[in-house]
Amino acid sequence: MPAAFSLSAPPFTLRPYAPGDEALYVALFTHADVMQAVGPPMAVDVATRAAQTCIAAQADAQGCYRHWVITYGEDTLGILGLALQSPAWQGGSAELGVLLWPQAQGRGAATAAIAAVEGWAFQHAGLLQLTTHHAEGHSPAAALMRACGFSPCAAEPGARLPCAWIKRC
C-alpha cells in the first residue's frame, strides 16, 4: 500500500495523520455538531482507541486506513479518512469520510480535500472506486457529494447510514 503523503488542495493543505493527532481525532469524533451527518458522537474511550488504531494503520504498509489532517494556514480544519473496503488497495474500494469543525464547514475545504485525496486514491493507490455514506436528510452532505462527482447508490444491506454515494475511477 502506498503511504499517505502531503497533498495540495489550494488554499488548503492535507498532511498525513501522524502521532500527536490523536487528540484532534478524539475531539472531532466526540463532537455532536461535527458528527451530525454521520451518527451519534463516539464515547471518548472508543474514539481514543479508534485514533490509536488509525495511527498504527497509517504506519503499516498493509494498513487498511489512510487519513489526512486538513489545514488552512496555521488552522486545523478537520480530518479526511479512507477505510479500505476490499482485500487490497490496488483494484479495490475504500469508504471516504470527512469531518470538519463547524466553523470550517461551507468554506470549500471538504470539496478541495476530497478532490485531492481522490487523485491519490485512483492514481497512486490504484483504487477503482470510492464510496461514502451520510445520515438521511442531510442536504449539505448530499450537495457536497454531488459537487465532488459522486452518484447516489443503494446502501449495503445493514448499513449504519442510509444515504450512499459512489465514484468510480
Q: What is the pTM of this model?
A: 0.93
What string of DSSP letters covers 51-63?
A: HHHHHHHHHSTT-
How far apart are alpha carbons 71 and 166 in whole angstroms? 25
The pLDDT profile of the chain, 169 residues, written as one tens digit per residue, is 578 899 999 999 999 999 999 999 999 999 999 998 888 999 999 999 999 999 999 888 888 899 999 999 999 999 999 999 988 889 999 999 999 999 999 999 999 999 999 999 999 999 999 999 988 888 899 999 999 999 999 888 877 788 899 999 9
Q: Which of 141, 63, 64, 137 is nearest to 100 (CA)?
A: 141
User: Domains of the chain (ranges plus CATH)?
Assistant: 7-168 (3.40.630.30)
Element (H, E) at 164: strand 163-168
